[in-house]
Amino acid sequence: MFWERFEGVAVPFSPLVGPLDVQGDIARCYEHTPRGALIAAVQISVRLDRSTRWQKILGQQVVAGKGNAAYARVRAASHPVLTGKAAQITGFRIVSYTPQTAVVGTVSRDPAHRGRTARTTTVKWEGDWKLAPTPEGSTGSAPKNVDSLSGFVFWGGF
């Protein structure tokens, strides 16, 4: 596995797990496994939140429905976090997994919250992993402050 920056945030790549196809801001073709779900959740959520071409990602890599529409409204009214202020992932855990739905937890070093924050992100299998935003239009649960990586696997690129 290796890491590259996308708009200031380190995102994971695996030649076996994915993304196997990256064209512009779209990173797709993930393995249908817990590891594939993990990498997809991170790749898609970071790209969706950081890209100026987020509508294209939303149309191709986000589950259709209420969360998708809510995300579009919230994102259109917001401004991306400055590159130097972006959270960087430092740990992960698989919260739950079925071949249809995966919930992954991540811990990030977050300058905006002055420390580490944890959140969950859900992806669903629809021929590839797609992000399932919350009904409120977020790419994951609200960040919660955590003191350590206890319960998480250390993971990070930069």
| pLDDT tens column, 63-84 | 999 999 999 999 888 876 555 6
Whether the pLDDT of residue 109 is over 70: the answer is: yes
Cα(24)–Cα(138) distance, integer angstroms: 23
Number of separate domains in the chain = 1
41-59 tens-digit pLDDT: 999 999 998 999 999 999 9
Strands of the chain (E only): list them: 2-6, 9-13, 21-23, 26-28, 88-97, 101-110, 115-125, 129-131, 144-146, 153-154
The pLDDT-based confidence of 115 (bands split at 50, 70, 90) is: confident
The pLDDT-based confidence of 87 (bands split at 50, 70, 90) is: confident
17-44 tens-digit pLDDT: 999 999 999 999 999 999 999 999 999 9
pTM metric for this prediction: 0.92
Q: Which residue has the higher pLDDT, 75 or 130?
A: 130
Per the structure, the complete domain to which residue 117 belongs is given by 2-154
